Structure 1
Amino acid sequence: MKSLYDVQQFLKRFGIFIYVGKRIYDIELMKIELKNLYDLGLIDKTDYLQAELVLRTEHKKEEDANKHI
């Protein structure tokens, strides 16, 4: 997984569709859902860590973008 879109598609495989309306909130909710999938043993550590890294990077980008507004 290399992009936020990839993470969204990954979560959709588990029936998880996320759209809150604000990108940063979407990312935070995706992090929660991803953690739940990992805790339940539905995804392996490699997928979890790749997706978490993408979400962390995208969250940081959103925070930086919102500071300049």
Structure 2
Amino acid sequence: MSRSLIIIGLVLVAAGVLWPWLGRIGLGRLPGDIMIEGEKFTFYAPITTGILVSIVLSLILWFFNR
């Protein structure tokens, strides 16, 4: 369990460090991501980005568990 938590933490840190670079290639602004801007608020729901990240992580974990 501790090994899994450490790996998850390292992945989150890596994603945080790489986020500016990932934003430049369009991740986070894909078709299907919902963004509603009002006068005093902004609502952002990255639905397509979440699905894409989930698929990629699932494939990576499936590959390592084989």
User: Normalised by the size of structure 2, how large is the TM-score?
Assistant: 0.36
- Of structures 1 and 2, the one scoring higher in RCO (CA 8 A, sep 6+) is 1
Name the structure where helix makes up a greater proportion of residues. Answer: 1
